[in-house]
Amino acid sequence: MRELLTREKTAEPAEVPAVVYTVADENRSRAEKPYNPYERLFLWFRTHPLMTAAIVCVLCMSVSITGTLTLWSYAVIPAAVFAVGMLTGLYFVKQHTDGSVRNAFLFTLFSILAAAAYVIALKMGVSAPYVLLNGGLCFLLCLSVLLYVTGRLTYKAGVVLVLAAGFLLRLAYVTALPMTNVQHDAAEMGSGIGHVGYIEYFIHNWHLPDFDVRTVYQFYHNPLHHIIAAVWVCMQTMFGMKYADAMENIQTLTLFYSAACMILSCRIFYRLGLRKRGLLSAAAAVAFCPVFVVMSGSINNDILSIAFLLGAVLHTLHWYEERSVGRIVYIALCVGLGMMTKLSVWLVAPAIAFVFLCAFVMDIRHFKKYLGQFALFLLICAPLALWWSVRNYTEYGVPFGYVMRLSEESGQYIGDVPLRTRLFDFSAFQFQELSPQFTLYSDSYNEYNPLIALFKTAAFDEVISKYYCDNELYNQSLFWSQAVLGITGFGAMIWLSFCRLKEIDTIRKQFLLILYLTIFGSYYAFCFAYPQVCTQNIRYAVPLMVIGAYYIGLAVQRLGDRKNPVVKKVLSWVPCIMTAVFCISSWLVYHYTAVHVEL
């Protein structure tokens, strides 16, 4: 037991990825050398990646969500590209290092050419998604070459470039597909139902529903996301934007939430000991994960709840090292606001409770400090998490944890399929079509195996390969590379959970394992408690992808250790290659979707 509760110290890395740059690093550097204004600007971007992502998302509103181009498209984005190049050039000059003038000239010239190419492409009538994806990819490739030539293409820069490519893919997807496409339970504007109706209810009424929320489709959900979206729409209309365009721009919020998930995931990976090639592999797996691409355009409450859950995981890892009151407050806010967005965020609670208990036992002499922190956690988290459920129960008798149940006549009911068949049938015919099968969509059967449905929806949601990407080679490559990578990640988790590692100690390994089992078990329980095809969607188990990506990166790092023999070092490239194939396949499928979709 004592060995279980022993924490292992990890060595500080030689370089810190931009998305995980810490205040301590800033203080150390500041003591060595005072910052000029340009360095301070870059440092701000490095130390505030979430704010940086929010600014970028707002700038990207200059390209409207429907794919039509506004006047600002010809000014805002080119100006931003040019400004980045100029500031980078000035940064090099102020560094007073060898080759700084040359580097400044190269970056400035590169940015001028990129901005000019962007404007020319728009003037020629090229579609916005095509420009964003192809032009953006060329920009990143050229930037990679430039960084390599100037000796600055490090793993740190590689992580940032990979995240930038993942953001481009999300932005193009959101630009191509309006909010009426590839949605879950959204309905249409003016319908008064679904997530769109829920948002419009707050826009028009500005008070909580004054009726039994079970009587209106999807109004039973906790309201934080819908309130934020309503405020966002009203802010835009106040500045003269048309109501329909403002509603479309709700996808700007979900785009930011998806970008935040990338950043939070990378910070979790770093906090759990991933460095260099391991961190780059894990970051790439998340950046090109199709689930996050689809959710960047889904205007329901899923992606915000996942961002809060990942935030709770990150701050729990921080608290385990610091045991500070501030981190307890952050964890409580993430869990409380997450459950105020969607109740399923409670799934992180057992893993957090395990860490709290271990820390309490390890430092039992200071039990008063921990009891005070735990009391503060409950004082903040409980009201935020439970007020909506308590209100609906006391006023309208809505049961705690209520979830709307579809009828057995819905057309996707699979409760009549035997349990053994649902669990263990992996017949070949189930892989002939890679999209989940719905008889509602004229398919030959209803998808019934939760594990197969998990992999299918992880790659294509419910309709991408069916209606948006008809390139069978791309679809097959994405599905099978994702399936192999997912199984490899699960196997790596089992293997590494029983290894003594310098990157991660026993407590944190158990923390991840509990979180994984809780979410996976909840997914299966939900599939059988509500036996419909739609309940087998990956959106109910997204954090599994992040945990799997971490263990892929950890396997790369573990096998590629310098002390290992050549055979293991060679084996470390296998998951790297699988990750690369997965990322390329994901890019091709969603590039095809964004560029070829007919609105």
Query: 404 in a domain, yes or no?
Result: no
Work out the pLDDT band at 41, boundaries 50, 70, 90.
low
Q: What is the pLDDT of residue 77?
A: 60
Work out the pLDDT band at 94, boundaries 50, 70, 90.
low
Which amino acid is present at 454? L
Q: What is the pLDDT of residue 13?
A: 41
Per-residue CA distances from 79 to 53, 338, 428 (Å) = 17, 36, 53
Query: 291 in a domain, yes or no?
Result: no
Distance CA 582, CA 452 (A): 18
Whose CA is closest to 182, among 306, 298, 291? 298
Model-wide pTM > 0.85:
yes
Among 20-29, 161-170, 197-206, 546-555, the least confident range: 20-29
Q: How many domains does the chain contain in total?
A: 2
Query: 325 in a domain, yes or no?
Result: no
Query: 550 in a domain, yes or no?
Result: yes
The residue-averaged pLDDT of 337-344 equals 96
Q: What is the pLDDT of residue 6?
A: 45
Q: Exposed, middle or buried by CB within 10 Å (0-12, 13-18, 19+), for 164?
A: middle
Work out the pLDDT band at 92, boundaries 50, 70, 90.
low
Distance CA 172, CA 115 (A): 18
Q: What is the pLDDT of residue 305?
A: 96
Mean pLDDT is highest, among 61-75, 146-160, 201-215, for 201-215
**Which of 206, 225, 248 is the endpoint of a domain?**
248
Q: What is the pLDDT of residue 497?
A: 87
Among 105-119, 142-156, 242-256, 292-306, the least confident range: 105-119
Distance CA 357, CA 347 (A): 17
Q: What is the pLDDT of residue 19?
A: 56
Query: 241 in a domain, yes or no?
Result: yes
- Residue 135 DSSP one-character state: I
Domain boundaries, position 465: 419-596
CB 90 within 8 A of CB 38: yes
**Which of 248, 283, 310 is the endpoint of a domain?**
248
Higher pLDDT, 31 or 544: 544
Query: 208 in a domain, yes or no?
Result: yes
The residue-averaged pLDDT of 375-391 equals 96
Query: 243 in a domain, yes or no?
Result: yes
Among 75-84, 193-202, 221-230, the least confident range: 75-84
CB 453 within 8 A of CB 434: no
Whose CA is closest to 115, among 160, 83, 157, 149? 83
Question: Each residue of 461-496: pLDDT tens digit?
Answer: 998 988 898 889 999 999 999 999 999 999 999 999
Question: Each residue of 241-268: pLDDT tens digit?
Answer: 889 888 988 999 999 999 999 999 999 9
> Does residue 36 register a pLDDT over 70?
no
Q: What is the pLDDT of residue 144?
A: 83
Distance CA 437, CA 427 (A): 14
Query: 94 in a domain, yes or no?
Result: no
Q: What is the pLDDT of residue 2?
A: 44
Higher pLDDT, 397 or 133: 397
The residue-averaged pLDDT of 321-328 equals 92
> Does residue 589 register a pLDDT over 60?
yes
Q: What is the pLDDT of residue 22?
A: 47
> Does residue 25 register a pLDDT over 60?
no
Question: Each residue of 564-579: pLDDT tens digit?
Answer: 777 677 788 888 999 9
Q: What is the token pair recorded at 549?
A: 């990506």
Among 75-84, 146-155, 210-219, 320-329, the least confident range: 75-84
Q: What is the pLDDT of residue 103?
A: 63
**Which of 223, 248, 273 is the endpoint of a domain?**
248
> Does residue 344 register a pLDDT over 60?
yes
User: 63 — phi, psi (to 5°)?
Assistant: -100, 115
